[in-house]
Each structure stands twice: as structure tokens, then as C-alpha cells.
């Protein structure tokens, strides 16, 4: 068994942190085998997710997303902001807007200046079969459905923003049972592909606070697609305006959803932390 050294860039979007690998300029080891090692905060680089830049026949680039547990997922909104900053800063594009192929479809980030990126997240998916969730049937939306979780009854809403989300409202997000209830909901039979779980406190119609238990990772400092899901559910429940600031432990995101037929737009920060080389075993 030989050891190969791969270059990496550590980045974050509102504290949701990533290891970015360039799969265009050079070969990479099999990510399903090394993702856990890269993500390990004690024995590896440390991150919530690994992002891989790949060529695409359908868009400007393709983004692969690997969770800290080695699973691959469809979409990460904080990740795509970091991805766009990476390809701009590292000379892969000089465009102000690009198209990125993901497992959930084509996503279009655009530069918003001062290390900020706006992402067209597309239309939210409200039909339960497409989220997917077994909480309801028909066209949706899935709002305020009672669900039993290990002997505890909660009221949940669900939406997909390219990946599935379960949204719960709490009086105090700082005291929310994220670590205890999050993993139970993630694995609940009501969500056949598992689910990201958002705990939300309504401060005002233009300001929400959020914590997230992220599928395959655990609690993260931010979840961009989760913030979009929270905005959509909150607007549908008429507790938020069409433009809302969502405060997460790692920072604020601005979310806009002008109409039920319209696209969701998210604006937030992206930052590079450091670069380096990491040795992995191959063969």
C-alpha cells in the first residue's frame, strides 16, 4: 500500500466548514474510502463536509459533496458558496456567475462582492413524495404534522431544497434538544432518505434563529439549504416576511422567497481558511 499526498483548501460558509479538493487539475483517491479520515477533527483535517470540484458536461463545474460519515449527499448551500469562491480564487473561472451541477440539479451562484455569494436555490419541493417524507400525502405543503419520536411527540414541517429538511419551532433555540432529538429525527421512518433537522425560534417576522442537526454530520454552525427550508416553511405558516434574516451559530444568512411559484435566493459569506497537503494511503 502506497501513500499519496493531495492538496486541499479549508473553507467555511458562516462557520459550516469544508475541505475542498480539486478533481480537475489532478487525480484524487476514492472519496468513499478517505472521506471519514479527511473530516476527522482529531486525526485528519477536520470539516463538516468534503467538496470536490469536477468537470461537467451539463454545467461549468460539478460539485461532489461527501459527509463526515462517508456518505454522499445531493446539495449544500453553504458549500456551493465556498465552492464558487474556490473556483474564482484558484483561477478556474473569472465569471461573476456560474452553473454548477449537483445531485439535485443545476445550481447557479453569483458573486455578491466582498466575499459574499448569492445562490439561486430554485423552487422549494413541497410534495411529500418528492421530499421525500411519509408525514403526508398529496401535493403538500407538509406543515405542522404531529410525529412521535422515541416517546416524545413533536410538531414537524418538511420541505426539500434539493435535500430533505424537517423543521421544528421552539421557544428558545439555545435550549433546543438538538443533540438528543436531532439524530432520532434524522433516522425516523417518516424520512426514507434520512433528513436534516432545523430547530427554529421566531424573533420577528424578519428575523429567525436556527440550529441544525445535519444529516450524516451532526450539529453544524450553519446550514444554508436548511435556512432556505426554514424561510419557506415560516413564510407558508405566515410567521415570516418574504425577505428574512436567519441567524445561525456561525453567522447570518439573507433569504428571499417572493412568491410560492418563485425561486428561493440565499446570500451569505464564503471564506478561505488555509491550504495544505494531506497524505492518504492508496491501493
Positions annotated as catalytic residues are 76, 223
How far apart are the C-alpha atoms of 50 and 259, rounded to whole Å? 33
Phi, psi (deg, nearest 5) at residue 37:
-65, -45
121 exposure class (CB count in 10 Å sphere: 0-12, 13-18, 19+): buried
Phi, psi (deg, nearest 5) at residue 129:
-65, -25
Per-residue exposure over 207-222, b if at least 16 CB sit within 10 Å of its own CB, e if not: ebbbbbbbbbbbbbbb
Long-range pairs, 137-140, Cβ under 8 A, ≥24: none
3-state helix, strand, coil in the chain (%, to 5): 20, 45, 40
Place of cell 420577528: 204
Task: Tell how many helices (H) and how many strands (E) occur in the chain.
Answer: 4, 17
Q: Cβ distance 235 to 143 under 8 Å?
A: no
Q: Nearest-CA neighbor of 104 among 218, 220, 228?
A: 228
Question: Would the CA dihedral through 25, 30, 36, 37 be positive or negative?
Answer: negative
Long-range pairs, 136-140, Cβ under 8 A, ≥24: none
Amino acid at each position: 500500500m502506497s501513500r499519496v499526498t493531495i492538496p486541499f483548501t479549508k473553507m467555511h460558509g458562516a462557520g459550516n466548514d469544508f475541505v475542498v479538493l480539486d478533481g480537475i487539475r489532478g487525480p484524487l483517491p476514492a472519496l468513499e474510502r478517505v472521506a471519514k479520515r479527511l473530516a476527522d477533527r482529531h486525526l485528519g483535517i477536520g470539516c463538516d463536509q468534503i467538496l470536490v470540484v469536477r468537470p461537467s458536461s451539463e454545467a461549468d463545474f460539478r460539485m461532489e459533496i461527501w459527509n463526515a460519515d462517508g456518505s454522499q449527499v445531493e446539495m449544500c448551500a453553504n458549500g456551493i458558496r465556498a465552492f464558487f469562491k474556490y473556483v474564482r480564487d484558484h483561477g478556474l473561472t473569472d465569471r461573476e456567475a456560474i452553473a454548477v451541477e449537483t445531485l439535485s440539479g443545476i445550481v447557479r451562484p453569483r458573486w455578491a462582492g466582498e466575499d459574499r455569494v448569492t445562490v439561486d436555490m430554485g423552487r422549494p419541493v413541497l410534495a411529500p413524495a418528492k421530499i421525500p417524507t411519509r408525514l403526508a400525502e398529496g401535493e403538500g405543503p407538509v406543515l405542522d404534522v404531529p410525529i412521535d419520536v422515541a416517546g416524545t411527540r413533536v410538531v414537524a414541517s418538511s420541505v426539500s431544497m434539493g435535500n430533505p429538511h424537517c423543521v421544528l419551532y421552539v421557544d428558545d433555540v439555545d435550549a433546543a434538544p438538538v443533540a438528543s432529538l436531532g439524530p432520532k429525527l434524522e433516522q425516523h421512518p417518516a424520512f426514507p432518505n434520512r433528513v436534516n433537522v432545523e430547530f427554529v425560534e421566531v424573533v420577528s417576522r424578519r428575523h429567525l434563529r436556527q440550529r441544525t442537526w445535519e444529516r450524516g454530520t451532526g450539529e453544524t454552525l450553519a446550514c444554508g439549504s436548511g435556512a432556505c427550508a426554514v424561510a419557506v416553511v415560516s413564510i407558508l405558516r405566515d410567521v415570516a416576511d418574504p425577505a428574512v434574516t436567519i441567524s445561525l451559530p456561525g453567522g447570518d444568512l439573507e433569504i428571499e422567497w417572493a412568491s410560492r411559484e418563485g425561486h428561493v435566493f440565499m446570500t451569505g459569506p464564503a471564506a478561505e481558511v488555509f491550504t495544505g497537503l494531506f497524505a492518504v494511503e492508496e491501493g
